[in-house]
Amino acid sequence: MLTINHEEIEGFVEEVRRLYPFFPFVGARLRKDLVWQGHSLGKDDWLLLDLYGTTHDARLFPQPAVFNPKRESSWRNGDFRFIPQGGGRPETNHRCPGEKMTVAILQETLKLICRSRPVRITPADANIPLGSIPASPAPPVSIILAHAEANAVAARFRR
Ligand code: HEM
């Protein structure tokens, strides 16, 4: 069995969300004309917030392609750099109010996988195209837990 403590689990999960944000970007349309940092923007123009680009920006996350669970990124900070589910705080901005729940579900999933080793993961590698929402692996990835396989064998045996 693989042992992993609570802080490590949270760091791992946050790094998964940083590297593979389910929503690569979010969009909005302007309700009125606006000049922002020297750019003239018109009413009804589309604006895209680049979630993927922000969580992969080397100025914010040194060596951004490296999976490093010790970065101390957290939804708790409510900042505008670690924004896999939007920036700021859900009370005052559009940051996803389901983020705490999402992290908790991922933590429980990871614990389940660690408890049930060995697992079979197929395919071993997959691309995550960023052109659609949600951005999910293609082809889809299956994780077979050891006890699930044992149950499947037992079920076949019973028939
Ligand atoms: C994998 C899980 C999830 C992902 C990747 C995700 C991602 C996002 C993103 C990117 C936004 C837009 C943020 C922005 O506009 O800046 C958002 C908004 C929102 N999310 Fe989530 N979310 C997830 C789960 C949930 C859950 C579990 C709930 C509720 C139980 C939830 C409720 C909402 C709501 C209500 C908004 C709109 C907030 C607003 O516009 O003020 N989400 N989410």
Tokens coding 33? 């004309």
- pLDDT value, residue 159: 41
Q: Which of 85, 103, 130, when mutated, tests ligand 1's pocket best, judged by the most ligand atoms within 8 Å of its CB?
A: 85
What's the distance, CA 132 to chain centroid? 15
Percent of the chain, pLDDT > 90?
A: 65
63 φ, ψ (degrees, to nearest 5): 50, 60
Query: pLDDT higher for 80 or 152?
Result: 80
User: Mean pLDDT in the chain?
Assistant: 88
Tell me, in angstroms, the distance from the centre of ligand 1 to residue 99's CA: 7
Give the whole-angstrom CA distance, residue 27 versus residue 49.
6
pTM of whole model > 0.85?
Answer: yes
Domain positions in the chain: 6-115, 117-159
- Could you tell me whether strands 119-122 and 46-50 are parallel, antiparallel, or unpaired per DSSP bridges? unpaired
DSSP class per residue in the chain:
-----HHHHHHHHHHHHHHS-SSSEEEEE-SS-EEETTEEE-TT-EEEEEHHHHHT-TTTSSSTTS--TTS---GGG--SSS-BTBSS-TTTS---TTHHHHHHHHHHHHHHHHHT-SEEEESS--B--SSSSS---BSPPEEEEHHHHHHHHHHHHH-
Q: Could you tell me the CA-to-CA distances from 7 to 64, 72, 74, 101, 156 in Å, in that order?
A: 21, 10, 11, 17, 40
Confidence of residue 150 (pLDDT cuts 50, 70, 90): low
Average pLDDT score over residue span 18-23 = 95
pLDDT tens-digit map of 59-109: 999 999 999 999 999 999 999 999 999 999 999 999 999 999 999 999 999
Q: Which of 14, 25, 49, 96, when mutated, tests ligand 1's pocket best, judged by the most ligand atoms within 8 Å of its CB?
A: 96
User: Is any atom of ligand 1 closer than 6 Å to the C-beta of 85?
Assistant: yes
